[in-house]
């Protein structure tokens, strides 16, 4: 069974977690500091390798049966992502969904969230900004 690093909406507690039902959670994981991480339309994150300026990104590691990977998880992934291989902080190579920049629409809102270190941190950041806007009665921009 391939090991799969998940870093977005298929992680535990996220809306698409059921897309890999039947897999085994191995624990939290972190990438090597060779990647940038973006939010695409505030719908899902995208991970991509860079030659310099990369950051470690938090996620979860799963042992996913091939039939679950190819029959459930991959078909549920956004068209802007494709299956690839990444390096974890401990040097291990595992599968992950990688962003294909050429599949993005020029009108897509793309936000670099690398410095936040992960998708959950970005979600907490958005929630804090919503609460602040409500308290201050300011429109979100």
The pLDDT, as a whole number, for residue 133 is: 66
Contact 95/85 with Cβ under 8 angstroms?
yes
The pLDDT, as a whole number, for residue 93 is: 97
Q: Classify 105 as helix, strand or coil.
A: coil
Is this prediction's pTM over 0.85? yes
For 87, the token pair is 């390096």
Per DSSP, what are the bridge partners of residue 60?
6, 28
The pLDDT, as a whole number, for residue 77 is: 95
The pLDDT, as a whole number, for residue 70 is: 94
The pLDDT, as a whole number, for residue 40 is: 96
Per-residue pLDDT of the chain (141 residues; tens, 9 = 90+): 579 999 999 999 988 898 999 999 999 999 999 999 999 998 999 999 999 999 999 999 999 999 999 999 999 999 999 999 999 999 999 999 999 999 999 999 999 999 999 999 999 888 887 776 676 776 665
The pLDDT, as a whole number, for residue 5 is: 98
The pLDDT, as a whole number, for residue 67 is: 94
| Residue 62, C-beta contacts closer than 8 angstroms, at least 6 positions apart | 3, 4, 6, 20, 23, 24, 25, 26
Q: Classify 43 as helix, strand or coil.
A: coil
For 60, the token pair is 């979860």
Domains in the chain, CATH or no CATH each: 3-136 (3.10.490.10)
Q: Classify 50 as helix, strand or coil.
A: coil
- Pairing of the two strands 44-49 and 35-40: antiparallel
Q: Measured between alpha carbons, how far is residue 6 from residues 83, 105, 136 in Å?
A: 11, 23, 36
């Amino acid at each position: 069974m391939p090991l799969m690093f998940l870093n977005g909406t298929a992680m535990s507690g996220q809306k698409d977690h059921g897309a890999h039902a039947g897999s085994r959670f191995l624990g939290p994981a972190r990438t090597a500091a060779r990647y940038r991480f973006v939010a695409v339309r505030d719908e899902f994150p995208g991970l991509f390798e860079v030659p310099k300026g990369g950051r470690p990104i938090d996620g979860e590691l799963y042992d996913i049966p091939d039939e679950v990977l190819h029959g459930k998880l991959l078909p549920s992934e956004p068209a802007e992502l494709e299956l690839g291989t990444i390096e974890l902080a401990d040097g291990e190579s595992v599968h992950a969904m990688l962003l294909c920049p050429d599949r993005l629409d020029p009108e897509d809102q793309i936000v670099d969230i690398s410095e936040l270190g992960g998708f959950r941190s970005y979600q907490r950041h958005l929630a804090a900004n919503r609460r602040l806007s409500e308290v201050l009665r300011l429109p979100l921009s």
